[in-house]
Structure 1
């Protein structure tokens, strides 16, 4: 099978959707076997997991001659946050307040500034003006983690405030986020995956698609939908346009995922348990 997605990204998807629900630890051999389903070879899996280890997302443990990998505390926190957003049932409620983060990070720490920007976009902040980021969501905990992680307490100011003008809240949203472009992405997702859902539903219900194929389809679905975490700020319903497609995309994702979940889990567990059996028999 031709490799379709970045190996590291697929590993994140498997940790978020499967491994963290099975004790958070996996034998590298099982991981290699799972990634083989997507066209990733052993060398690319080992290189990707090594990179994730250096970046602080996973930690390793050697038992006998076998290597096991688990998410670090940082990795678990990121997976938990991502999962809450991927599987959310509706837009968050709004308390009418805006959170504003302003930083003045010196030039000799530019790398911290670049890292912080990426983290803020991922968390759903929008850029209002140079070094001034805003969100309507209560992300105080995430901000405290970021400030501690990067050691930038002296360079950051964080406010909880109301917007007093000179435009409306909706116009403020339009200035900080490209909602029309986001809606276009959701439209493309709905068009592609509604067709796949209609085709697969009767086949899966009749048992005509293998567990391995359902595992691949489920992981691909999550992997594609997960991309919205990097572009959708998860705004409250009050701030979204009338013709918002995010909720329709979320419903389609949920229906399709539920359809694939049982056979996909069976396949994952068969490979995962095989690794544990090998260890027990050693």
Structure 2
């Protein structure tokens, strides 16, 4: 069976964050740039793209640099650690199937000036990523209790938005409302595509040194799917909803790859302890380092 490489829709930064969450988060270590280049090459990502991603993430405050001799190592910042911890919760604790919904909805209404087209676009994009769907043009809804205070503060729109908790009336057709407010066919297609792509690996194994990269791609693609899922209550979704099968496939393949991936990480990764006195804003160019 051939090596699985990254899908075109999977950005190198998403892959990098997944790699760091898997190998660096919670360990107080930095990883050598050459190790990252090697692992990413096995996932089909070129050296220049990997180096550029590292440089951009440093400039955005998502990575810190630490030089050891002629080698440059990269570690997490507080910002990236928070992002990765959220992703870890989403994969391993929240899950893809919402069986425990208590009937609560979060309603968010907004009214912005007509000239604020960019702000309206940014708000709608953020709401979509936070699990909201449009009930009406200026009224959005999400299952459960969703805290949007940080989102609104970031956009500077708190004064233009009202947030409520609500329950549906007894005669409300929740299933119909869900179909009108969210693109269920698109979400189901993503789950189906994930299952078809990864199910063969439930019985196959990659070459030993490719296992780390393969598991990295698996996790990054899975997170990309479930982050677009508002976790709608399964009781009100179509009976053949594919999220559960996709999650079973993810967990089965991950479990199968993990022993090999751990062995590969010991062979392929050069890690050093974080030095508290290292200059996080070093001007040294990571692209100039020896791989």
Q: Which residue in the other structure is 2:287 paired with? A: none
1:27-75, CA deviations, whole angstroms, 9 ceiling, x for partnerless residues?
Answer: 333322322222333322221123233444x132344565443344443
Q: Which residue in the other structure is 1:96 paired with? A: 103
**Equivalents in 2 of 1:2, 1:255: separation in Å?**
16
Q: Which residue in the other structure is 1:133 paired with? A: 140
Number of positions where the alignment pairs a residue of Structure 1 with one of Structure 2: 266
Q: Which residue in the other structure is 2:14 paired with? A: 9
Cα distance, 1:160–1:269 mapped onto 2, change above 3 Å: farther
Q: Which residue in the other structure is 2:265 paired with? A: 268
Return the structure number with greater relative CO, CA threshold 8 A, min gap 6. Answer: 2
Q: Name structure 1 gaps, 5 residues minimum.
A: none
**Equivalents in 2 of 1:248, 1:31: separation in Å?**
32
**Equivalents in 1 of 2:162, 2:243: separation in Å?**
32
Question: Which of residues 43, 46, 51 in structure 2 aligns to 1:41?
Answer: 46
Q: Which residue in the other structure is 1:215 paired with? A: 212
**Equivalents in 2 of 1:55, 1:108: separation in Å?**
29
Give the superposition deviation at 1:259: 0.6
**Equivalents in 2 of 1:73, 1:109: separation in Å?**
32
Q: Which residue in the other structure is 2:194 paired with? A: 189
Contact 1:82 1:229 in 2 (8 A): no
**Equivalents in 1 of 2:30, 2:133: separation in Å?**
35
Give the superposition deviation at 1:174: 0.7
**Equivalents in 1 of 2:35, 2:14: separation in Å?**
17
SS in 2 for 1:276: strand
**Equivalents in 2 of 1:276, 1:72: separation in Å?**
16
SS in 2 for 1:232: coil
Cα distance, 1:222–1:3 mapped onto 2, change above 3 Å: closer
Q: Which residue in the other structure is 1:153 paired with? A: 158
Q: Name structure 2 gaps, 5 residues minimum.
A: 276-291
TM-score normalised to structure 1 length: 0.80
SS in 2 for 1:219: helix
1:172-219, CA deviations, whole angstroms, 9 ceiling, x for partnerless residues?
Answer: 111111223322332232233222323x1xxx4xxxx43322112212
Contact 2:143 2:230 in 1 (8 A): no
**Equivalents in 2 of 1:182, 1:36: separation in Å?**
30
Contact 2:103 2:144 in 1 (8 A): no
Cα distance, 1:120–1:15 mapped onto 2, change above 3 Å: farther
SS in 1 for 2:43: coil
SS in 1 for 2:35: helix
Backbone CA RMSD of aligned residues: 2.9
**Equivalents in 1 of 2:20, 2:26: separation in Å?**
8
Contact 2:106 2:165 in 1 (8 A): yes
